[in-house]
Amino acid sequence: MKKSVLFTAAAMLAVVSCNGSKTTLISGTAAEGCENLRIFSGLTEEEIAQVPVKDGKFSCEIPTNVKDLYIITDEDVSHSFIADGSKLTVDMTSEGGDVQSSKNSVHQKMLDENQWYADFMKSYTPEKDAELTKEYVDHCMEALSDNSDNTVGLLTLVNLRGQVEDDVLADAIEKLDPAFDSYEFVQQLKSAVNKRKGTSAGEMFTDFEVEQPDGKTVKLSDYVGKGKYILVDFWASWCGPCKREIPNIKAAWEKYHGEKFDVLSVAVWDKPEDTAKAAKEHGVVWSQIVNAQRIPTDIYGIEGIPHLILFGPDGTIVKRGEGLRGEGLEKTLSELL
């Protein structure tokens, strides 16, 4: 399984049963001294309501909408909930409590899903990687099919992101209710899938340029398409997996660099000074482009790092993604070089 974070939204994988009510009542207890609560959309960040608190109690009705994940907060403590038309209660005096439904339909299914994920992760071993990845993906796809018209389906899509190939992800996006098309996350996901398709193996590289801290401008084409295989590592100093991948890249550079092969590190989403410090600490002695931020990741549809792309001597993309990490890098290079 790809080691991406299992979003806390995974706990919401449950069938939401709306009781038909046009409004959802949420009430409960607030922390001492709290005078006001805010409810806002977790998907659009739009404020939905300001909720006054009196004598430590509050109550508010909002429109029922199963296509959003709402957040109620006093700035110190926050809880998420789906406005499914039932009566909800929440204890705002602690972060660890649950939003409870008077019918317990959503709440219980949330607990069941929490347990499913806890058991799933306990059973994970590298040896069972393929088997468990399939189980995980199948579970998410089933939940998405069952909840294509509500927020649970959208949150399931969040969990599939990074776990499946783009053709599967594209099919999953199409399962969602068209009402979700206007959501920024869905738009970004569709854009990233399309960009990765346009920069997949067999496609010619897309150039970009970045101004360096010394004021000079460098381009990807300064390195790629010059007659060598070029391995480009998109990374950041704060990224643990990125730094753990450097020894593999370094071993490949030491073994193969020369007339046919070289490495280029491109620092994204990072401060130049932090990049320089981490590069020195981890022995990055090959060519670097720093301070690239989102310029290349937007072009190549990169949503997570480290991300490796191998370009051929003429600039054609040979391979990209997970297959170039770890032992996969040596296997690929040994076959080519």
Tokens of 253: 């550079």
Strands laid side by side in the 57-63 sheet = 57-63, 23-29, 87-91, 100-101
Asked whether the whole model's pTM tops 0.95, one would answer: no
Question: Would you state the pLDDT for residue 34?
Answer: 94
Domain assignment of residue 178, yes or no = yes
Q: Which residue has the tokens 């996969």?
A: 328
Asked whether residue 155 carries a pLDDT value surpassing 90, the answer given is: no
Range of the domain at 280: 209-336
Residues 192 and 80 grouped into a single domain: no
Write the pLDDT tens digit of every residue in 41-89: 988 889 999 999 999 999 999 999 988 889 999 988 999 888 888 889 9
Say how far apart CA 274 and CA 45 lie, in whole Å. Answer: 31
Cα 134 from chain centre: 19
Q: Within a 13 Å sphere around the CA of 283, how many CA atoms are in the beta-carbon half?
A: 10
Domain assignment of residue 6, yes or no = no
Say how far apart CA 332 and CA 213 lie, in whole Å. Answer: 34
Residues 153 and 126 grouped into a single domain: yes
Write the pLDDT tens digit of every residue in 107-149: 555 566 667 778 888 888 878 888 888 888 898 888 888 888 8
Write the pLDDT tens digit of every residue in 241-300: 999 999 999 999 999 999 999 999 999 999 999 999 999 999 999 999 999 999 999 999
Q: How many structural domains compose the chain? A: 3
Residues 171 and 71 grouped into a single domain: no
Domain assignment of residue 5, yes or no = no
Question: Would you state the pLDDT for residue 96?
Answer: 63
Say how far apart CA 273 and CA 290 lie, in whole Å. Answer: 9
Residues 316 and 240 grouped into a single domain: yes
Q: Which residue has the tokens 């006001």?
A: 36
Angle at Cα 157 formed by Cα 151 and Cα 162, nearest 5°?
Answer: 155
